[in-house]
Amino acid sequence: MEMKPNILMGRYELGRLLGQGTFAKVYYAKTLKTGESVAIKVMDKEKILKVGMIEQIKREISVMRLVRHPNIVRLYEVMASKSKIYFVMEYVKGGELFNKVAKGRLKEEEARKYFQQLISAVDFCHSRGVYHRDLKPENLLLDENGDMKVSDFGLSALPEQFRQDGLLHTACGTPAYVSPEVITKKGYDGAKADIWSCGVILFVLMAGYLPFLDANLMVMYKKIYKGDFKCPPWFSSEVRRLVVRLLDPNPRTRITVPQLMEVPWFRRGFKRPQAGKDVDVGLLEDVDSAFCAPKPACLNAFDIISLSPGFNLSGLFKDDVVKQEESRFTSTQPASSIMSKLEEIASLFRFSFKKSKDCKVKLQGSEQGRKGQLSIDAEIFEVTPSLFVVELRKTGGDSLEYSKFYSQDLKPGLKDIVWTWDGNSQ
C-alpha cells in the first residue's frame, strides 16, 4: 500500500527525521512549489510554555532575521498551528563539523578555512548586536561544498539584554567552551565571550581534543579560569601564539575580532564573504504570530441559518453579477492551513498577499486588467473547532476576468482543502 505524502501547511512535504532534542525534532522536507530542500524544526508549544521558553524562542526568531550571512544557517519562515511551531530553515546536508573532528584532527589549512568562516560569521553577528553564546563544533554545520555555517541561536543575546553596566549576566553555554568571566557570574562582554569560544574551537580543530578537559567539572572550571592548557607539539608557532591570545583568561587583554583579522596567519587566503540584507522582511511578523495562531471569528446559530439556501434571503436583494462575485466553501483544515493554501495560490499566480490575525486575507493581482488590478478578499469563520467556512469576494477589477480566474485557477487550486462548496451536496 502506497503511503500518502506528509504535507505541512499545503507547502512542504515532510521527509525523514534528521535529529531530535528535548523540545524539538528536525525533519528533512521539500518545498512543493520549487522542490527545494529545507530543514523544518518542529517544536511542541505545550512543552515550550511549560518550561517557560517562549521568550527564548521569540529571541531566536528575532536574531535569525537579523543575521543573513553565507556562513550562517538561514531561517526562511516561521509557521504555527494550535499545538506546534515550525522553523523552516536552510538544509545543510554535510552534518556537524564535530563529526569531522571526531574522526581525527584537521590539517592546518583546513582548520584555518573553517576558522576564517567562523570568525566572519561571528564578526557579522557582533556588528548587528547579536552574541551567540554557545559556539561549539556541534553548532557548526557543513554544506555540500564543504563550507561552514553557524546554527542554533537559541542562547544568543541582543543589546536589550545588557544591564546598566553594559554587560551580560546570564551564565549559559557548554561548559568546555565557556569563558572564565562567564563562569564567575560577574558580568561579561558578549563579544569577548564568543571570541574565547572561537579559540577553543580552533584548538579542537587543530588538536583533535579539548584544551580544558577534565572529568571533574570544578577542576575543569579552575583550568579555564587560569587559562591552564598546553598546545600539542604539532601546532606551528603562529598557531600557538594565536591560540594563547584567544584563550587569554583576562577579557581586557584577550584579542578582539578586528585585531584577529589583522593577524598574518588568519589573513592568509581569507576572502570576506558578501553578507545579505540586514532584515528578512518575511519574518518580521512571525515573532509574535508563532505563539498566537490565527483566530477566526465564530459563526453563531443565526449566521449558520442564514447560510442555508432555504433561509438565505440575500438573493432577493442581489443581482446575478454580484452573486457570481461571491462564493463560500467549508473546510476541515485549520485556519493556518487555509491561509497558507491561499498564500500559495497568490504566489503561483503573482498576486500580492496580506493576512491579518483575525483570519482576513487580501489577494491583489500584479497585472492591470480592463478595470484595474483584480482584488479578492477572503475571510475564515469557525463553525466548530474542526469545521471552518471561508467566504471569497471580488473587491476590485473586472467581473469577467474574476470569473475566469475563479473557475480556472482559484477553485481548482483550493480543491485539497475544500470539504464542500456552497450549493454542493456532500
Q: Which residues are annotated as a binding site for ATP?
A: 41
Residue 158 has a pLDDT of: 80
**What is the share, in percent, of the chain residues with pLDDT greater than 90?**
46
Q: What is the pLDDT of residues 67-107, one digit of tens each?
A: 989 999 999 988 887 788 899 999 998 888 998 998 899 99
Kindly tell me if the per-residue pLDDT of 313 is higher than 60: no
Residue 291 has a pLDDT of: 59
Kindly tell me if the per-residue pLDDT of 346 is higher than 90: no
Residue 136 has a pLDDT of: 95
Kindly tell me if the per-residue pLDDT of 305 is higher than 70: no
Rounded to an integer, the average pLDDT of 128-147 is 93
By CB neighbour count within 10 A (0-12 exposed, 13-18 middle, 19+ buried), where does 131 fall? buried
- pLDDT band for position 111 (cuts 50, 70, 90): very high
Report d(CA 346, CA 325) in Å as an integer: 18
Q: Is the dihedral of CA 235, 239, 241, 246 positive or negative?
A: negative
Residue 79 has a pLDDT of: 84
Can you read off the three cell numbers belonging to residue 197?
A: 569560544
Is 147 one of the catalytic residues? no
- pLDDT band for position 108 (cuts 50, 70, 90): very high
Range with top average pLDDT, 7-11, 170-174, 385-389, 403-407: 403-407
Rounded to an integer, the average pLDDT of 301-329 is 56
* More confident site: 120 or 302: 120
Secondary structure class of 167 (helix, strand, coil): coil
Fold of 97-267: Transferase(Phosphotransferase); domain 1 (1.10.510)
Q: Is the dihedral of CA 247, 251, 255, 256 positive or negative?
A: positive
Count of residues making up the chain: 426
Look-up: residue for cell 563539523?
A: 97
Residue 241 has a pLDDT of: 97
Kindly tell me if the per-residue pLDDT of 147 is higher than 60: yes
Pick one of 1.10.10.10, 3.30.465.10, 3.30.200.20, 3.30.1360.120 as the CATH number of 6-91: 3.30.200.20
Report d(CA 326, CA 362) in Å as an integer: 14
Residue 281 has a pLDDT of: 39
Residue 179 has a pLDDT of: 95
Report d(CA 299, CA 296) in Å as an integer: 9
**What is the share, in percent, of the chain residues with pLDDT greater than 70?**
87
Look over the chain and give the mean of its residue pLDDT values, rounded to a whole number.
85
Residue 180 has a pLDDT of: 95
Kindly tell me if the per-residue pLDDT of 284 is higher than 70: no
State the CATH class of domain 292-421.
Answer: alpha beta
Residue 225 has a pLDDT of: 94
Kindly tell me if the per-residue pLDDT of 389 is higher than 60: yes
Q: CATH 3.30.200.20 residue ranges in the chain?
A: 6-91
Residue 339 has a pLDDT of: 85
Rounded to an integer, the average pLDDT of 234-248 is 97
Kindly tell me if the per-residue pLDDT of 300 is higher than 90: no
Q: Of the listed 134, 194, 280, 286, which one is catalytic?
A: 134
Kindly tell me if the per-residue pLDDT of 302 is higher than 80: no
Q: Which residues are annotated as a binding site?
A: 41
